[in-house]
Structure 1
């Protein structure tokens, strides 16, 4: 359990010592965002795996420093707050994932003699890396700054959707350079990563362009770029492997770099604009021309900040300074992705490597095993137009690839994790009436994606046995539980559309979880293909991503995964009292067997907030008539497992999921079943939160409390009328109004305890 660590906002701390844009005051909710939260563990363990660099909401470009020559699992975003050197600034990054990838188009300003050979992986002082200090580093939404101490260069970064903008202030009497490195990537030892081909072409003394084709976690990604300098290049060298090509205007190869020299004897500021595209150099050129029309760095940074304030002000809150910083940073992290993958002209690279065209925006970076739980339900509330584009982007993969995304990155399927959790995202969007979604096309896609076998989803096995036998399909228990939920989602849309035969088929499949419930052990546990329980069975033993019945968890953590039929799970457990007793044990048993999975962190007993299978469990006491215990544990997680330090998250932030859990929970409710139209009430943290719904409508959550110790609901009203339900409909939120809670230090064991007050399976 991590203690709360109070830190000073680095943007405020550094404004007195760093000249330029960093001195400008930050206004609006963006003032409370600290991009350094979650960028590095304080005392070991996991921290968030976030990056601090410049980006705009849902942008293609994430221009951020990489503190490793070859980032890998432990530094998946490229940046670790505990590192002492920076290897360069690359234009694409993932936020909070457990796997490293992207890091495209590394740019690094240097002075003095410079090697054309990249440094040894993660060896300080090698290559063209530079030392830096957090005392001379700052970040805010859409802007990043650092002093490169080895070169005495002040580097500033900002971004638009498709372009990065650099400002480098060189010292006097220096030999100034800019290094471009197309070989910088995920560790070449992971995912068979290699550069297939790359190119740097000198167009003129102000312009270069090129591409790289790289394969790794995402297969055969194509990234094209167009770069402009505001000062003339006086000399340059193009390099492939260890061969230097002097005088060439183009270099091709699989280890391509370049060094560009500038006249910096008098000291000057160099501006660098870089547009990127997954389609072509021409599109990269067009992206840049449309989005950064002038050499005005400050205006571009101001525009980025304005875009962030537009998004962040969709929820206005009153609370403590610490609550505001954690809340708005969480909302910021939630809005970093999915990422734009289409160019300004609507072109994008499809999953079959052909060029597609969209009228809206085509998105990728769908970390669906994580984000279907809370991030996508938050988007249906706050990002309805983008949600339609997310759905249509997933349908684009279905059209070209044959089934919906499992984990899509840069337009390519990488099959990370289990289930097919595009399904609940699409069903949720349809059931909530998101405009711009083709309902019949969605149904075709979710039905066929539930029938066509693909890695970790052998549907012929599923229907033959009514569960996944472990000796046929590893991770069998987790897959059985998660696919049963996906099938429930298909059944609900089939029912809505009057497809009775399909409804019966998928509703039956949604109950397959029962076949792995062992009434003797009171756990879900694996069977073989003959229906025999596989022994020995240890509910504390962790699985990873194969070779074990459980995925990144154990039997205790997966016991609670029946979100579509919690009342039945209560019955299987033995009724209300038995269910509460087992939940109590879950939150108090600290016993372990062997090594934990690397993603298991943020423990309260067996509850592991650092990974997603546990995320809904704090809310389950409501289903057995003891909501005050939900209130206790929801508050405990918020107060103890989120903080304002670089170690601000209890685990990988996972593309906004860890943040979305906090945003919902601080508001006071959470989507236990993310496709049900139901939010389950917990312990609202904020004095006031106003959700801007559009069309002049607002939904407010207010709390009347005397202190931070007032975590228990004493009473509630909805639009002035007494409210005792421990859940609220999505449609009630969309209608606007005021949900007010009176809070206290002691549990009110009478509020919300009636059978009629318990959450229902679905409001649709």
Structure 2
């Protein structure tokens, strides 16, 4: 089979060690961000070319072994099987609505089910946050935990719409990641098994708590609280050492202080923590704002505490409602484990 590997990325010099081969036809490996593989196998007799592709987080040998997960070459049969699997997954929600609404809802539900994603080989091997190879025992390891984006709505939705086994796999994956973490904490924003440190908070904690409160099984109830506590008490992360001492994150010692305080208060299920950030004395709307070390309510400063890439600022946070005064917030609905509200009244 004729083969060419070409890097179409321009203007970015490769500073590593170039692999053997001077021309595209002689290269077996290229590195870059805009790669193209051109393969020429000739024209099959029936005009149809079937190709299988397998991936592995561990090795090329494991990727080849993963091909056995689809042993046949019946494309139409595989397509039907995939369609049936998606229909089964989406059928957990029944909708009585006009077709445009049904299309919108089921498309959104499909998107909601794409992540967290399976991230292991057929033999259970995967790479953890320490970049070492581990093996999942009697569960399926998942990654792509975009927790700052998903803890409020997606994960509570999946506890209702996804199979209990899959939800249990999520929690076991989080706990396993904590066990292999160089820092000994749960993932913050995990991608391909590795920590990205994107966004703020330790939102694996409410995800685990919500699953447990809803009766999700399949994970160790002793390991879970130990992992949650380790994350909540890891002082070097995001000003937590100050938060544990003062009850808030001070702006003179840590950036994005107001946002982090509110996020941590949610993760701790300690909703009254937002009171230390409340700026009713200086704002008719009442917003959460930054506070300096030792400052009282009369010396709080209103600032936008999050850079543009955070997609949040001190005025946009929802406030967890359990155990919070009814004078400023509405109570969570009966049975709710994640009741939140947005308040615009003074504290």
* Category of TM-score, reference length = shorter chain: 0.7 to 0.9
Instruction: Choose between structure 1 and 2 for higher RCO, CA contacts under 8 A separated by at least 6 residues.
Output: 1
**Aligned 8 A contact 1:525 1:555 in 2:** yes
Which of 92, 111, 122 is equivalent to 1:314?
92
Corresponding position of 1:525: 289
**Larger strand proportion of the pair:** 1
Which of 484, 487, 492 is equivalent to 2:265?
484
In structure 1, the gaps of 5 or more residues are 1-113, 122-186, 200-238, 489-506, 574-578, 580-622, 625-671, 681-764
* Pair 1:514-2:298 in alignment: no
Counterpart Cα distance in 1 of 2:12 and 2:143: 23
SS of the residue 2:55 aligns to: strand
Structure-to-structure mapping, 1:167-246, within 5 angstroms: 243-244=22-23, 246=25
Which of 427, 442, 459 is equivalent to 2:240?
459
**TM-score, structure 2 normalization:** 0.83
Asked which structure has the greater CA Rg, the reply is: 1
Corresponding position of 2:28: 251
Counterpart Cα distance in 1 of 2:212 and 2:268: 16
SS of the residue 2:110 aligns to: helix
Structure-to-structure mapping, 1:106-125, within 5 angstroms: 117-119=6-8
Corresponding position of 2:132: 354
Q: 1:424 to 1:289 in 2, by over 3 A?
A: same
Counterpart Cα distance in 1 of 2:96 and 2:157: 20
* Pair 1:557-2:334 in alignment: no
Q: 1:245 to 1:382 in 2, by over 3 A?
A: closer
Corresponding position of 2:156: 377
Corresponding position of 2:251: 470
Q: Kindly state the Cα deviation for residue 282 of structure 1 after the two structures are TM-superposed.
A: 2.1
Structure-to-structure mapping, 1:354-503, within 5 angstroms: 354-358=132-136, 359-383=138-162, 384-401=164-181, 402-456=184-238, 458-488=239-269
Q: Kindly state the Cα deviation for residue 119 of structure 1 after the two structures are TM-superposed.
A: 3.4
Corresponding position of 1:299: 77
Q: 1:267 to 1:188 in 2, by over 3 A?
A: farther
**Aligned 8 A contact 1:283 1:343 in 2:** yes
Q: Kindly state the Cα deviation for residue 268 of structure 1 after the two structures are TM-superposed.
A: 2.1
Q: Kindly state the Cα deviation for residue 530 of structure 1 after the two structures are TM-superposed.
A: 3.2
SS of the residue 1:518 aligns to: coil
**Aligned 8 A contact 2:248 2:273 in 1:** yes
Q: Kindly state the Cα deviation for residue 196 of structure 1 after the two structures are TM-superposed.
A: 7.2
Q: Kindly state the Cα deviation for residue 448 of structure 1 after the two structures are TM-superposed.
A: 1.0
Q: 1:261 to 1:115 in 2, by over 3 A?
A: closer
Which of 53, 57, 67 is equivalent to 1:288?
67
SS of the residue 1:523 aligns to: coil
Q: Kindly state the Cα deviation for residue 463 of structure 1 after the two structures are TM-superposed.
A: 1.9
Structure-to-structure mapping, 1:578-593, within 5 angstroms: none
SS of the residue 1:273 aligns to: coil
Q: Kindly state the Cα deviation for residue 455 of structure 1 after the two structures are TM-superposed.
A: 3.9
RMSD: 3.3
Counterpart Cα distance in 2 of 1:188 and 1:407: 28
Q: Kindly state the Cα deviation for residue 429 of structure 1 after the two structures are TM-superposed.
A: 1.2
**Aligned 8 A contact 2:8 2:36 in 1:** no
Q: Kindly state the Cα deviation for residue 534 of structure 1 after the two structures are TM-superposed.
A: 4.9
**Aligned 8 A contact 1:197 1:253 in 2:** no
SS of the residue 1:260 aligns to: strand
Q: Kindly state the Cα deviation for residue 436 of structure 1 after the two structures are TM-superposed.
A: 1.1
Counterpart Cα distance in 2 of 1:354 and 1:463: 32
In structure 2, the gaps of 5 or more residues are 341-347
**Aligned 8 A contact 1:197 1:254 in 2:** no
Q: Kindly state the Cα deviation for residue 525 of structure 1 after the two structures are TM-superposed.
A: 1.2
Give a deviation string over 1:604-657, Cα, whole Å, max 9, x none: xxxxxxxxxxxxxxxxxxx28xxxxxxxxxxxxxxxxxxxxxxxxxxxxxxxxx
**Aligned 8 A contact 1:428 1:676 in 2:** no
SS of the residue 2:134 aligns to: strand
Give a deviation string over 1:152-177, Cα, whole Å, max 9, x none: xxxxxxxxxxxxxxxxxxxxxxxxxx
Q: 1:412 to 1:325 in 2, by over 3 A?
A: same
Q: Kindly state the Cα deviation for residue 430 of structure 1 after the two structures are TM-superposed.
A: 1.2
Q: 1:296 to 1:198 in 2, by over 3 A?
A: farther
Counterpart Cα distance in 2 of 1:188 and 1:348: 31
Counterpart Cα distance in 1 of 2:50 and 2:44: 17
Q: Kindly state the Cα deviation for residue 450 of structure 1 after the two structures are TM-superposed.
A: 0.6
**What is the total number of aligned residue pairs between the two structures?**
327
SS of the residue 1:251 aligns to: coil
Q: Kindly state the Cα deviation for residue 245 of structure 1 after the two structures are TM-superposed.
A: 6.2
SS of the residue 1:271 aligns to: coil
Counterpart Cα distance in 2 of 1:340 and 1:482: 28
**Aligned 8 A contact 2:289 2:315 in 1:** no
Give a deviation string over 1:706-756, Cα, whole Å, max 9, x none: xxxxxxxxxxxxxxxxxxxxxxxxxxxxxxxxxxxxxxxxxxxxxxxxxxx
Corresponding position of 1:235: none
Corresponding position of 1:332: 110
Counterpart Cα distance in 2 of 1:542 and 1:188: 34
**TM-score, structure 1 normalization:** 0.39
**Aligned 8 A contact 2:6 2:24 in 1:** no
Corresponding position of 2:307: 544
Counterpart Cα distance in 2 of 1:427 and 1:351: 22
Counterpart Cα distance in 1 of 2:42 and 2:186: 52
SS of the residue 2:94 aligns to: strand
